[in-house]
Structure 1
Amino acid sequence: MANQISIFDTTLRDGTQGEGISLTADDKLKIALKLNALGVHYIEGGNPGSNGKDIEFFQRIKQYSMQAKITAFGSTRRKNSVAEHDTSLNRIVESGVPAATLVGKAWDFHVHTALQTTLEENLAMISESLAYLKLKGMEAIYDAEHFFDGYKNNPEYAIAALKKAAEAGTDWIVLCDTNGGTMPVEIHEIVSRVAAEIQTPIGIHTHNDCELAVANTLAAVQAGARQVQGTINGYGERCGNANLCSIIPNLQLKLGYSCISDEQLRSLTSNARYISEIANVHMPVGQAYVGNAAFAHKGGIHVSAIMRDSKTYEHIAPELVGNKQRVLVSELAGQSNVLVKAQELNLNMNLDNAETRAVIDKIKDLEHQGYQFEGADASLELLLRQASGQLEEVFTLESFKISVEKTSNRPVISEAIVKVTVQGETMFTVAEGNGPVNALDNALRKALVQFYPVIQTMHLSDYKVRVLDEKETTAAKVRVLIESQDIENSWSTVGVSNNIIEASWEALVDSMRYALIGKQPIVASHDSQRQHLGLVNH
């Protein structure tokens, strides 16, 4: 099909060159399975001759039935050698993968400076290496490294490199903007010329050093490229690679090309977020299409409009890429914001209700004090439920005390004593922790678990502190954001105070209150239940 685009994912290879990204063989397997389900056509797993992790990955992936072609990566043979005797090429062949990408120079400057060989020898390296892969029955992909810089410096030689690859029978010729410095208009012009001169299918591989990797990829496709190389979330060296999470929906929803099925496209957001968790890299909330804020609305005028028709402020329906519309409530909020949020929670509020106006005023006052509800949906929900009379207080604090002890021969120990009332019963609990907040968390759980065993399924997954007025130095007010999660969900809560422990306690309490919404306490004998749970009331 003329409008079919082949998606080549290199997250597991080029993506791991990004700063702070390191994947185990297990991580690579998990990501590869997600990419396969997403519907990408090629998954570049790494270089089977470079390190143990990649070797293990190629061995273990064989046990899975994959629709995507698992692809190995390598370079052309060494200069002044023979392809059949090249260790790297033979390891690619021995890995058993159906396809391989070989990177070879297309810029005469690099041939002289990096390879330190002749232009003729470089052409032979390209041709003989790709021909060797074809001889072994593999699909061969030539990544023409630094092609655009090479073309601008010496177009005859850059094209000659492509022609040598084509003569060797390569299946794809991929034009690489390796330094990421080419402009979209240049990409379109050069790819158009190449497509007119080279019969082999053309691919594009761009980097994001000028924040143009996605734009350059789209320009190349419109000029005739039919394979797109990139990474999930744009991971990659320096400023990253072309971001497939933007490229795929742009091609499919905006330009009419076919990349993956509509059903697979609806899994794009969940896949992007899953892979960010495996890679342990924070995903920008404003990332196009798949970010948490990609379809978030904050201004009251905007929210009022999307209530009538979401097309007023959304360029696509978020569900097409598996995302969802979010309405943020903050000091900029109007009544529409609160109403939409209440509707999401099935709370009885309306625009003419004085209760709704009171909630808005309270939110604005709290935000003036430093609270930030757009990043703490759970605290906001608790506030709205409380205002509408639909929140049961499962516990109340009587007091807490924290002690911190440091001796010369052992690390700092924090201990918390918490007194709370739960279901009309006063509970004293004591617990230690790695720090004051951890100790408070453990002590509060100890009290609550005796009535709500479900609390054992949740845990704190992130903890952030923001100083709100640096000029006050150590006496400054702070905002604490806590992210919690259980088996199925995650949620965020906020606390603000001049005392970091008090701010942490507020956010911690909200996280517990939110976790217990709709949960029923144990009604059997408390003593027997506590004995069954192995708990002791201090």
Structure 2
Amino acid sequence: MNQQKRRIEIYDTTLRDGSQGEGISFSVEDKVRIARRLDEFGVDFIEGGWPGSNPKDVAFFEQMREVKLRHALLTAFGSTRRAGVRPEEDPQIRSLIDSGASAITIVGKSWDAHVIHALRVSLEENLAMIAESVAYLKQHVPMVLYDAEHFFDGYRANPAYALRCLQVAFEAGADRIVLCDTNGGSLPQSIAAIVREVRQALPEAQLGIHTHNDSACAVAGALAAVEEGAMQVQGTINGYGERCGNCDLVPVVAALRFKMGYECLLPDSLRHLTALSQYVDEIANIAPDTRRPYVGRSAFAHKGGLHADAVLKGASYEHIHPEAVGNTRRLLVSELAGSSSIAGKAAEFGIRLDKKSPEARHLMQVVAEHEHAGYSYEGAEASFELLLLRTLGLYKPPFTLKGFRCITEKRGTDKQPITEATVKVEVNGQERLTVAEGDGPVHALDGALRQALLEFYPALERIKLTDFKVRVINGRAGTAAKVRVMIDSTDGEQTWSTVGVSENVIEASWLALVDSVVYGLIRSERLYEALSRPPVLTEKTSSVPTSSPSVSESAAS
């Protein structure tokens, strides 16, 4: 561990490099919101875009004039002057200055092959472009950073010229010299060796590192560079970026603080790391990667029975405490789970269950039977809580299904199908028969069920379905295969997921839909007094039914 606690600058380029990722498009308002959040999080530099390249980035910098950043330096990105043009005559250079940014990053060639074949200028002219651009910009802004494009490839091809590019930038006044692995192909040991040689050649320069993830080594390469003396890491939140993405700042900052002993960001920043990752995903309209290190939903999830039991006893199967990065531990329930997982999960729902009790063993058996039939409770914790209540005899149905029917009709090839659902339920001895149309069976069933229940349970008005997924379980059975339906719902405060399984996709949808509604009602109206005073179930007590319900009976109850 580094004992000197050297501080590492964090330079975020989510709004520029990150926006070049496939499927990512930020509006001006999106960029302003993310910039505010990054500043609150404590990053040192926020690269807002290239103001000379498109109207959106021009508008962003205009709007940011009205935003007072508390910590970060707003940074504009551009390139060195054009060949044969003085910096003061280059419109792109002028746009960088006019952006009002507190810092400017310019990118320049450092690979001789690119200078000759891409820029088509002499090697000396490229050096002049770098030096003159840096010197001119330093007259107008307090901080200039030089990004040496393709530096590692350039250094391997012609180390003397690549170093000369850095040297002229440094002598012209660049405050940071950033070494870029632009094509993402350098391995960590190569990056470490080259950074070490650069430090020896330019001992007074403040070095940064900018890596891409084409060889899945962007984070490792950045951390290797820091160990060799780099004092700034450039990257994006969640690793957004062109091709395979940029260096992901999320694991970088966690590793710097928790693994390597460096200081970065603000003292309390890391507790908000998970929230920041999710926030940027939400703005970008990207489904979060559940297996993302540190911040993913599965990062601290335990499925194996031995692991879960050890974790509950205080043994470590986690490399850091989840709370340190704003994440939470999750005990997954599956056929692999042991009684400790079952008891731990019950505790999350406020039910104290002794892992050695008959109830715990019976729950393990029921879960195994359900998963064998195609159920999966790892991503449907609301359905598992209801299964828990049903199996322990704590469940009282808020309504009883008398029957449902779905009819889909299509008239003519140019007409959209029409689906009509009829639902008959009984609530407190009163029957209700309702009909609703929808865009499909699930939409129609949801509408009919709501009509039937709303007068009894007004809180249902707040419960909305947000997502619907169907997966074929045993594809070899063809059209007779079982399907698993997952439904996500929210009441505006919490989101939950439910699951249903059947050979009939409509029945599977109905089972997931009913669980979703019932769970929402339990949350909203506290239907069951027993839930507020849960029993303590130990190995000396038993409420296990004498005969276990079948999978279909338990799922449909």
Normalised TM-score (structure 2): 0.91
* Amino acid across the alignment from 1:9: D
Please give the residue correspondences for 1:335-354 in structure 2 after superposition, counting only pairs within 5 Å.
335-354=339-358
Which of 283, 308, 311 lines up with 1:306 in the alignment? 311
Judged with a 3 Å threshold, the aligned counterparts in structure 2 of structure 1 residues 391 and 132 are, in CA distance, closer, same or farther, namely farther
Match of 1:317 in 2: 321
- Note the C-alpha offset of 1:269: 0.3
Q: Matched residues in 1 for 2:72 and 2:172: separation?
A: 24
Match of 2:150 in 1: 146
Is the contact between residue 103 and residue 141 of structure 2 (CA under 8 Å) also seen in structure 1? no
Match of 2:208 in 1: 203
1:500-525 CA distance string (max 9 Å, x none): 11111111111111111143399xxx
Match of 2:42 in 1: 39
Which of 121, 124, 146 lines up with 1:120 in the alignment? 124
Would you identify which runs of 4 or more consecutive aligned residues in structure 1 move more than 6 Å? none
Which of 187, 192, 195 lines up with 1:183 in the alignment? 187
Match of 2:22 in 1: 19
Is the contact between residue 451 and residue 521 of structure 1 (CA under 8 Å) also seen in structure 2? no
Are residues 1:5 and 2:1 paired? no
1:30-73 CA distance string (max 9 Å, x none): 21122111111111111112222212211112222212111111
Are residues 1:494 and 2:499 paired? yes
1:394-417 CA distance string (max 9 Å, x none): 222211111222223532222211
Are residues 1:481 and 2:486 paired? yes
Please give the residue correspondences for 1:419-430 in structure 2 after superposition, counting only pairs within 5 Å.
419-430=424-435
1:204-262 CA distance string (max 9 Å, x none): 00011111011001000000000100111111111111111100000000100011234
Are residues 1:406 and 2:422 paired? no
Q: Matched residues in 2 for 1:430 and 1:62: separation?
A: 55
Match of 1:215 in 2: 220
- Note the C-alpha offset of 1:101: 1.1
Q: Matched residues in 1 for 2:241 and 2:124: separation?
A: 32
Are residues 1:53 and 2:56 paired? yes
Judged with a 3 Å threshold, the aligned counterparts in structure 2 of structure 1 residues 134 and 340 are, in CA distance, closer, same or farther, namely same
- Note the C-alpha offset of 1:2: 6.2
Q: Matched residues in 2 for 1:275 and 1:46: separation?
A: 16
1:366-394 CA distance string (max 9 Å, x none): 00111111111111111112223333322
Q: Matched residues in 2 for 1:157 and 1:337: separation?
A: 60
- Note the C-alpha offset of 1:450: 2.1
Which of 222, 241, 256 lines up with 1:236 in the alignment? 241
1:467-522 CA distance string (max 9 Å, x none): 11121222211111111223221111111111111111111111111111143399
Q: Matched residues in 1 for 2:206 and 2:237: separation?
A: 23
Please give the residue correspondences for 1:148-297 in structure 2 after superposition, counting only pairs within 5 Å.
148-198=152-202, 199-297=204-302
Normalised TM-score (structure 1): 0.94
The 10-residue stretch of structure 1 (206-215 or 481-490) with the greater mean CA deviation from structure 2:
481-490
Is the contact between residue 10 and residue 44 of structure 2 (CA under 8 Å) also seen in structure 1? yes
Judged with a 3 Å threshold, the aligned counterparts in structure 2 of structure 1 residues 388 and 148 are, in CA distance, closer, same or farther, namely same
RCO higher in structure (CA 8 A, sep ≥6):
2
Q: Give the paired residue count.
A: 521
Match of 1:533 in 2: none
Is the contact between residue 111 and residue 122 of structure 1 (CA under 8 Å) also seen in structure 2? yes
Q: Matched residues in 1 for 2:55 and 2:452: separation?
A: 48
Judged with a 3 Å threshold, the aligned counterparts in structure 2 of structure 1 residues 443 and 111 are, in CA distance, closer, same or farther, namely same
Is the contact between residue 104 and residue 141 of structure 2 (CA under 8 Å) also seen in structure 1? no
Are residues 1:105 and 2:81 paired? no
Which of 365, 368, 382 lines up with 1:378 in the alignment? 382
The 10-residue stretch of structure 1 (123-132 or 315-324) with the greater mean CA deviation from structure 2:
123-132
Q: Matched residues in 2 for 1:347 and 1:219: separation?
A: 47
* Amino acid across the alignment from 2:206: P
Match of 1:536 in 2: none
Match of 1:93 in 2: 97
DSSP 3-state at the match of 1:519 = helix
1:276-327 CA distance string (max 9 Å, x none): 11111122211100000000000000011111114x2011111000001100
Q: Matched residues in 2 for 1:496 and 1:422: separation?
A: 25
DSSP 3-state at the match of 1:114 = helix
Mark the runs of 5 or more structure 2 residues left unpaired by the alignment.
Answer: 528-557
Judged with a 3 Å threshold, the aligned counterparts in structure 2 of structure 1 residues 422 and 92 are, in CA distance, closer, same or farther, namely farther
Match of 2:445 in 1: 440
Q: Matched residues in 2 for 1:451 and 1:74: separation?
A: 62
* Amino acid across the alignment from 1:41: D
RMSD: 1.5
Q: Matched residues in 2 for 1:375 and 1:128: separation?
A: 57
The 10-residue stretch of structure 1 (266-275 or 476-485) with the greater mean CA deviation from structure 2:
476-485
The 10-residue stretch of structure 1 (222-231 or 108-117) with the greater mean CA deviation from structure 2:
108-117
* Amino acid across the alignment from 1:60: Q
Which of 400, 406, 423 lines up with 1:418 in the alignment? 423
Mark the runs of 5 or more structure 1 residues left unpaired by the alignment.
Answer: 523-538
DSSP 3-state at the match of 1:374 = coil
* Amino acid across the alignment from 1:5: I
Q: Matched residues in 1 for 2:55 and 2:344: separation?
A: 52
Is the contact between residue 76 and residue 125 of structure 1 (CA under 8 Å) also seen in structure 2? yes
Is the contact between residue 349 and residue 388 of structure 1 (CA under 8 Å) also seen in structure 2? no
- Note the C-alpha offset of 1:347: 0.6
Which of 27, 31, 47 lines up with 1:28 in the alignment? 31
* Amino acid across the alignment from 1:65: K
- Note the C-alpha offset of 1:446: 2.2
DSSP 3-state at the match of 1:346 = coil
The 10-residue stretch of structure 1 (339-348 or 421-430) with the greater mean CA deviation from structure 2:
421-430
Please give the residue correspondences for 1:383-402 in structure 2 after superposition, counting only pairs within 5 Å.
383-402=387-406
Judged with a 3 Å threshold, the aligned counterparts in structure 2 of structure 1 residues 182 and 405 are, in CA distance, closer, same or farther, namely same
DSSP 3-state at the match of 2:353 = coil
* Amino acid across the alignment from 1:369: A
